[in-house]
Structures are given as structure tokens and as C-alpha cells.
Amino acid sequence: MRRAFPLLAAIVLGATAVAAQNIAPIKERKAHFDEMGDAVKPVGAMFKGEQAFELAAVQSALTVIREKTAVLPDLFPEDSKEGEETRALPAIWNDKEDFNNRFKKLADAAQAAEPAITDEASFKTAWKDLVGNCSGCHKNYRKPKE
């Protein structure tokens, strides 16, 4: 029994350490998505006519989108499929190339929108195209809220 206890303790501690490895990228990607959501939310309200158009806020949101899309693809390592509450679907790891390409497409759309959006009319057109990239990724790679 005395020999079994250290072995059992090592197994339990080892399993805990492995599980902990999953949590860091999940927490980090959640923080990035939250920041992107915070930047985009008021712009979405502008698009719906619920808030007055403000070019500076739109440009700021586009910058945040570009910054976040540059780091987010790396925050989905194989060992972060589970652990910590995550809405990431297994499809991410089943088709990582498409998943990563969607981030690139969103970044490119944000980059193209920056000089294209100069007023409310150009904003309405460019923003509609841009958010189409978001919904396509959410549909394929994110669990719906329960």
C-alpha cells in the first residue's frame, strides 16, 4: 500500500497537469473573442440603425478584427479541444485548413474595408460583406449558446 500511494499520486497529479495544459489557450482565445465582440457590438448597432454612425468606432473595430485574426488561429492547438467551457466544435480540428483560411479571409475583408468605408453608405455595403465572414465561421465551428 505504501508503494501504491506515490504511484497513485503521480498518476493523479500527471492527469491534472495534462488537463491544465488545455485551459490556457481556451482562456486566451475566449479573451480575444470577447475583445473583438466588444469592439464590433456598437458597430453592429450602427449597421442596424440603433446607434448613430461613427467612422472612428468603425475603423477601431476593423483594427481590432485584424489584430485578433492574426493571433486566434494559433490558439486552437490539438490539446485544447476540451477542458474549460468552450463552444469550439470538433470540426475546427477536423478541417483546420478551412478554419484558418476563414480567419485570413476575415482579416483581408477588414483590411479592404478600412479605406473603403468613408461614410455611412459605404459602411453599410462593406460591413455587410465583412460580417458574412463571421457568421460562416460561427455556423460551422461554434456550438450555439444553450
Task: Determine whether the annotation assigns residue 134 to a binding site.
Answer: yes
Q: Helix/strand/coil (H, E, C) string of the chain?
A: CCCHHHHHHHHHHHHHHHHHHHHHHHHHHHHHHHHHHHHHHHHHHHHCCCCCCCHHHHHHHHHHHHHHHHHHHHHCCHHHCCCCCCCECCHHHHCHHHHHHHHHHHHHHHHHHHHHCCCHHHHHHHHHHHHHHHHHHHHHHECCCC
Task: Determine whether the annotation assigns residue 140 to a binding site.
Answer: no
- Known binding residues: 134, 137-138
- Known binding residues for heme c: 134, 137-138
